[in-house]
Structure 1
Amino acid sequence: MTVNGGLLCVHAHPDDEALWTGGVLARYAEAGVRTGVVTCTWTEGTRRVEELRRSLAILGAGEPRLLGYADAGTNESGEDDRFVEADVDEAVGRLVGHIREFRPDVVVTYDAFGGYGHPDHVRAHRVTLAAVEAAAYEQLYPDAGEPWRVRTLYLVTVPSTVVRAEWEKVFGAPPEPGQVLPGTPDEQVTTTVDVRPWADRKWEAFQAHESEAERGAGPAMFAGLPDEERDRLLGTEWYIRRDLAAPRSSDLFAENGVA
């Protein structure tokens, strides 16, 4: 990744920022890049947002930026409707406001399956794709700030071969027959980032989400692994790149080498 104006990640829940993008957040913050995270669910005054604040401090990603919606799992997590049931146009407008205020060159969110199919993650993917496009148009959401064009969108994912190889180590059992697995075909993954130098910081940020560990989720799933195995799993992050500011052309196929 080449980032000048800043890196903004959009995640569904507190703890996702650490697990999915903790490495790149720590890496680029250390390099002097402005980094930030928008979290679609949970709100100020809840334990999970306080944990998010500690995680972001560890990763160097500033203060929480919240859309304010409720988690699909509990209505007590947000001020408004559950994110998966919220008005899409309203949600896009809220995210446009964050994009225009932060003015990033790069935005990161999940792949189309939401990483692993969670409905909040899938909704975050769809809302983010709409928001990065809408943020550039002065005609859309005029009250959300001055227009801003994001240069590059990255979709965080895991290659299918890695999912199949590591599934049993993480979950303690092989996939169920017929179970739909997450993952992107390896040939569609465009960007592989070695974040091993920041794996300890990523793990520390993940562990800040103590409420998730207490219920056996999030960091609890990795806590029982040997340190070497956990560092290996957390030491690489994979992305699908989508360029939003491509060179001008008079041929729809010229840039793909078809013309």
Structure 2
Amino acid sequence: MSDVSGSTRALFVHAHPDDESLWTGGTMARLARSGAEVSLVTCTWVRGTTRHGELVDAARQLELAREPIMLGYADSFVPESAPGATSFILAPFDEQVAALVEHLRSLKPHIVVTYDAYGMYGHPDHIHANRLACAAADAAAIAAYHPDLGEPWQVSSLYFITIPMTTVAQLRPHLSDASHLPIDGTHADRIDVVVDVDDCTGCKIRAIQCHKTEMARSASMKDFAALPAPEQRLFLRTEAYLRRDLVPGGAELV
């Protein structure tokens, strides 16, 4: 389980195309610019779909060196996201853990980033992604677990996406009832890391705009696009996380 390079390696585990840009785009771009190896796993949608193409375009805007890895499950609310595939939240969990462990052992990330345990706002696919990432990070380090999937790898730290309650309070007056943007948020005292991504907001906005299908469909994305400039800047310029170290000292996100 020894390290193999001097650069930080981070793996972002997201449920859907657009989540990576909306919630972690600045962090991803900042890491990539610093020379870190940044990888993305997207749990739903498949190659050949419109939203996969949009995801690839967004990843380029975030300066990722490799294309997103697609686990190939169906979005729980959009069966056509992966025709014939099982819904992400209904597929056998052990199968999913093994699939992600294989990527963890191959990519050897020091850091894994995903949603908090509530999926930020209760989306079942987000909650499931959190459970999957946590279970796979634990399993990847156990030599007896599927040795056929590669040498064991110990992730150093897990980071869970959240949003401060103060930010939610400022955004709420501008959100529609149909919006899925977070409705509660996390108290500042519980937030472990706030990443200033102000210098990456340009590529973050361009990445979000790559998701044209979701921009046209989603009430949340429409709310984001319609935010007044001060509130939109507030939403864009920082990204907040909870931190859980899996080894003493862990690994710094930025």
Count of aligned positions:
240
Structure 1 residue aligned with 2:25, among 22, 25, 32? 22
Q: What residue in structure 1 maps to residue 48 of structure 2?
A: 45
Any stretches of 5+ residues in structure 1 without a counterpart?
A: 248-259
Deviation at 1:246, TM superposition (A): 1.3
Any stretches of 5+ residues in structure 2 without a counterpart?
A: 1-5, 250-254
Structure 1 residues 90, 193: CA separation in 2 closer, same or farther (over 3 Å shift)?
A: same
Contact 1:117 1:182 in 2 (8 A): no
Q: What residue in structure 2 maps to residue 134 of structure 1?
A: 139
Matched, 1:91 2:103: no
Contact 1:51 1:208 in 2 (8 A): yes
Q: What residue in structure 2 maps to residue 73 of structure 1?
A: 77
Amino acid at match of 2:163: V
Matched, 1:9 2:12: yes
The whole-number CA distance in structure 2 between the counterparts of 1:80 and 1:174 is 28
Amino acid at match of 1:234: L
Contact 2:58 2:210 in 1 (8 A): yes
Contact 1:113 1:182 in 2 (8 A): no
- What SS does structure 1 have at the residue aligned with 2:27? helix
Trace 1:59-70 onto structure 2 (pairs within 5 A): 59-61=62-64, 62-70=66-74
Trace 1:91-240 onto structure 2 (pairs within 5 A): 91-169=96-174, 171-172=175-176, 181-217=183-219, 219-240=221-242
Amino acid at match of 1:143: D
Amino acid at match of 1:70: A
The whole-number CA distance in structure 2 between the counterparts of 1:183 and 1:90 is 32
The whole-number CA distance in structure 2 between the counterparts of 1:153 and 1:218 is 26
Q: Mark the structure with the bigger radius of gyration.
A: 1
Q: What residue in structure 1 maps to residue 252 of structure 2?
A: none
Deviation at 1:182, TM superposition (A): 3.4
- What SS does structure 1 have at the residue aligned with 2:42? strand
Deviation at 1:143, TM superposition (A): 2.2
The whole-number CA distance in structure 2 between the counterparts of 1:242 and 1:156 is 12
- What SS does structure 1 have at the residue aligned with 2:122? coil
Amino acid at match of 1:72: S
- What SS does structure 2 have at the residue aligned with 1:85? coil
Contact 2:176 2:223 in 1 (8 A): no
Q: CA RMSD in A?
A: 1.9
